[in-house]
Structure 1
Amino acid sequence: MSGNLLRFRTVFPWSLQVSILYLLEKTIGMLDGVLEYLVTQVMLLQLIIIYLGNRISRAI
């Protein structure tokens, strides 16, 4: 394992490695934001459906 890490370090310059890690972190952060947004939308949709369901059942 450590041999692979050493080989990786010699093939990739340190700055490139840091930028790759930075991009990965940014991408993961973005995906996390998107997932959070989707979950919020689904929760809002569920609330609206429950509200409309209650209104309809009261109307009938």
Structure 2
Amino acid sequence: MTEQQTILAIYSLYQNLPSSIRLEIKKMIDESLTNTPAIQSTSFPWLGFHFTKHKTKKYGN
């Protein structure tokens, strides 16, 4: 199965889910994207902070 076939199969399964479950999945994806650092290489844990799309977080707080 190619990557495109896999994506189409997942999309087909998704489309057949009840709308309430689709909404929950969309919320989880949105939260995941919001909490993902914009660029992985901007994480500097040894300095005690890393940059995300929206803010700088300090570790250990």
The TM-score with structure 1 as length reference comes to: 0.39
Q: Which has the higher strand share?
A: 2
| Bigger Cα Rg | 1
Q: Which has the higher helix share?
A: 1
Greater relative contact order (CA < 8 Å, ≥ 6 in sequence): 2
